[in-house]
Amino acid sequence: MARAIHLSVLKVLMVLICVTGIALWLVKPTKLWTRIWHGAEDRARTTVFRYYGLNFSAYTFPIIALAIIVYLYVDLQPKRLKIRQIRIANTAICSPLVISNTLGILSFLEILVGMSFIMFLTWTFYVRISNDFKKMTPAKTSQLIIWQFKYLKVATRLGSLAEVCLVLLLLPILRGMALFRFLGVQYEASIRYHIWLGTAMLFFATSHGLSTLFIWGIQHRLQTEVWKWQKAGRVYLAGEVALLAGLVIWITSLPAIRRNRFEVFYYTHHLYILFLIFFLFHVGDRHFYTVFGGIFLFGIDKLHRIVQSRPETCVHSACIFPCKAVQLTLPKDPRLNYLPTSVMFMKIPQLSRIECHPFSIISSSSAQEDTISILVKCEGHWSSSLYGLLQSTTDSVSCIPVAVEGPYGPSSLDFLRYDSLILIAGGVGIAPFLSIMQELASAHTDNRHRLPMRIKLIHVVKRSQDVCLLNFILPILKHQPEKTWDFRLKVFVTQEKHIAITLRDLLRDLASKVQTINFNTTCKHYAILGIESSSWMAAVALISTIMFLFLLTCFYHAFVPDLTKNSKQKSTSMIPDVVIICSFLLAIVSSCFLTIVLRWRKLRQQKSPVSHKQRKPVEPISLSSLDAHEIHFGARPDFTEALSEFMDGTAGLNIGVLVCGPKTMKQTVAKSCRQNSKAVKTGSNIKKPSFSKRVVLRLTC
């Protein structure tokens, strides 16, 4: 009862912060707000915190406060209890509305939020530019005629729109401090919001910069203005450097470069540090506070992830499959629990000391207490180097140190809310489903929940050797609970002609080609501890905020002159900017020190660096249970027909469709779900579909 009250209070606080923040940004472009704000700044200059305290409280702190409340909510929310009480999402909001190659799959809610954001940008631009045009008094020193003055004002307001996009830009890519977990959107799914915001920001920023350069050019002032570093006002040169850094980041993020030259994409993305610093120098400290909330949380998240990946652990064992996929098994602390469909970021210093790549976890913490397993498809440069490293390793001799971040996953077992499940996997996309299958098998054994009664797995691969990944679910097929759930498997091999072989014989042949490597178990590395609790991250965010304000106040009083006598003077020199940078760095470093102490205490509680338990020999698995399952060669599955067949025997039940695979597969399944959902009825009531996305795409018919 107390937990329910606390959750309700936190929900109310989140709603109040969001409504207040939206209202503030709506009135911010108006003259009324400008008058109120200038008066408030004049009064704030006589206080201890001066004007920067007011700016921080109005623009930066609400985002940090919202994050703190979300972390507390996630920590209090039950993760494994009362799963059946989770309500199916509103079908009118979450169903797919747009399915296209350009935009992907968009729900009604995503389109609604996107259109609202575009309308807000339009409102902001219109109000600001209308106020500018009403003045129509170009400064005599600017030597601009009326149309040039108007065009320059348009360029300036386009830069303001870029600032609005920057406010939200970094929030979708937070990992340990993921705000989107509250909405059920995981890190992998929220990346596209980061891409959209980044593209919009660079569009407005580039238009702002090119338009300004155009006006300078026709005034024959380009050579003079472009190299200016003003002591007051906008620093032109800093803006140019920030824009160039942003363009380099955006260009190297294009799919053609990101997929084929990932190293180029990864290393150039670190130019965000240069971009943010010179953006601060360009706009000054007042404007920077409007975007500082996301930057503040991102800085905390980044440094704490670095702390989390220390100390290193080591690989217990590895399995090399014929399809050039690798299973890595690492030791984990028995206290570490995670949910299915979680991902883990891994860095191997022998391959690269900087690159950190995400991989799906294929094990379940309910079934494996001391180890955690991930699946790596060796296609890119980094993963191919890992494949070569494992092949050159001698059994029981070497040890491969790794640094780990995560696991990061959903906040609840929401896939258990359905009565029936259809799992559709393309190639290595089966990885998230492996952990789901283990969790379902474990839950059925323990009788913890009322679980999905029917499960159908459709696995689509290019070559027959890719079928070897099904070896992970063979133990589940052998010990399939009787009279509790019905599991059916259907495999499609698309690029090979019909072969007279059964699924059982094919898996037997492929199993003999799997190479297993057991590494030295005496390595002096520690088990994986995982990320800190959400309540601890909330405390870290609060401590960092208090420390930042304290340092900012001290540095401002020591180094920034008092402007009380001349309240209209703009302090946009480098001194306030450097004060912000120093206060921010010292605040997050001090909070990281607390995390280091906490992890050190956890490491001391480990009885030994890694578990030295003898691994049980693999039990021979009878493949006779595969006779009831199908394999098809030289054809692609008809998802519309497959969904129709599955629905025929599940009238009146909630059917969850989970998809993980190529983009085209997700779009095809989304169209099939939307088409089939129109025919699903329960008595006289039409049972509409719901649609949502988590780590993998989820379509509910």
The answer to whether residue 549 sits within a structural domain is no
Tell me the CA distances in angstroms from 534 to 75, 308, 491, 521, 540, one per residue in order. Answer: 5, 14, 40, 33, 10
Mean per-residue pLDDT for 176-195? 76
Burial class of residue 478, CB neighbours in 10 A (0-12, 13-18, 19+): middle
Residue with more model confidence, 522 or 559: 559
Nearest to 689 by CA among 235, 93, 105: 93
Report pLDDT digits (tens) over 28-50: 999 889 889 988 988 888 888 88
The answer to whether residue 564 sits within a structural domain is no
Q: Please report the pLDDT score of residue 417 as a whole number.
A: 72
Question: Which of 80-89, 157-166, 358-367, 460-469 ranks highest by mean pLDDT?
Answer: 157-166
Q: Please report the pLDDT score of residue 243 as a whole number.
A: 96
Residue with more model confidence, 687 or 128: 128
Please tell me the total number of residues recorded for the chain in this structure: 701
Mean per-residue pLDDT for 429-452? 75
Q: Which residues pair with 317 in a beta bridge?
A: 329, 518
Contacts of 194 (CB under 8 A, 6+ apart): 169, 170, 172, 173
Report pLDDT digits (tens) over 3-13: 888 888 988 99
Range list of H helices, 560-638: 574-605
Mean per-residue pLDDT for 154-178? 89
| Domains: count for the chain | 1
Question: Which of 26-40, 66-80, 170-184 ranks highest by mean pLDDT?
Answer: 26-40
* Residue range(s) defining the domain that contains residue 408: 312-526+626-698
Q: Please report the pLDDT score of residue 604 as a whole number.
A: 77
Residue 381, pLDDT above cutoff 50: yes
Q: Which tokens in the block code for residue 21? A: 């923040």
pTM of the model: 0.87
The answer to whether residue 555 sits within a structural domain is no
Confidence bin at 654 (pLDDT 50/70/90): confident
Rounded (5°) CA angle 584-585-588: 85
Report pLDDT digits (tens) over 300-336: 988 888 888 877 888 888 989 888 889 999 988 888 8
When mean pLDDT is compared across 16-25, 166-175, 289-298, 394-403, the lowest value belongs to: 394-403
Contacts of 72 (CB under 8 A, 6+ apart): 10, 534, 535, 538
Tell me the CA distances in angstroms from 244 to 205, 239, 280, 319, one per residue in order. Answer: 10, 9, 15, 45
Confidence bin at 209 (pLDDT 50/70/90): very high
Confidence bin at 411 (pLDDT 50/70/90): low
Q: Please report the pLDDT score of residue 194 as a whole number.
A: 92
The fraction of the chain above a pLDDT of 90, given in percent, is 27
Which residue type sits at 179? L
Cα 478 to the center of its chain, rounded Å: 36
Distance CA 690, CA 699 (A): 7
Query: At 322, which CATH number?
Result: 3.40.50.80
Mean per-residue pLDDT for 638-657? 75
Q: Please report the pLDDT score of residue 568 as a whole number.
A: 46
Confidence bin at 394 (pLDDT 50/70/90): low
Residue 677, pLDDT above cutoff 70: no
The fraction of the chain above a pLDDT of 70, given in percent, is 81
Report pLDDT digits (tens) over 331-350: 888 888 888 888 899 999 88
Q: Which tokens in the block code for residue 531? A: 């990320």
Confidence bin at 177 (pLDDT 50/70/90): low
Residue 92, pLDDT above cutoff 70: no
The answer to whether residue 577 sits within a structural domain is no
Residue 56, pLDDT above cutoff 60: yes
Distance CA 75, CA 246 (A): 36
The answer to whether residue 222 sits within a structural domain is no
Residue 690, pLDDT above cutoff 70: no
The answer to whether residue 557 sits within a structural domain is no
Report pLDDT digits (tens) over 469-523: 888 777 766 655 555 677 888 899 988 887 778 888 888 888 888 888 888 766 6
Q: Share the mean pLDDT of the chain.
A: 81
The answer to whether residue 521 sits within a structural domain is yes
Mean per-residue pLDDT for 581-604? 86
Q: Please report the pLDDT score of residue 91 as a whole number.
A: 47
When mean pLDDT is compared across 34-43, 180-189, 252-261, the lowest value belongs to: 180-189
Which residue type sits at 137? T
Residue with more model confidence, 94 or 135: 135
Task: Tell whether the torsion through CA atoms of 252, 257, 258 and 262 is positive or negative.
Answer: negative
When mean pLDDT is compared across 87-91, 219-223, 245-249, the lowest value belongs to: 87-91
Q: Please report the pLDDT score of residue 248 as a whole number.
A: 96
Confidence bin at 659 (pLDDT 50/70/90): confident
Residue with more model confidence, 594 or 700: 594
What beta strand segments (E) does 289-351 contain? 313-314, 317-320, 325-331, 343-347
Distance CA 219, CA 383 (A): 54
Q: Please report the pLDDT score of residue 466 as a whole number.
A: 87
The answer to whether residue 600 sits within a structural domain is no
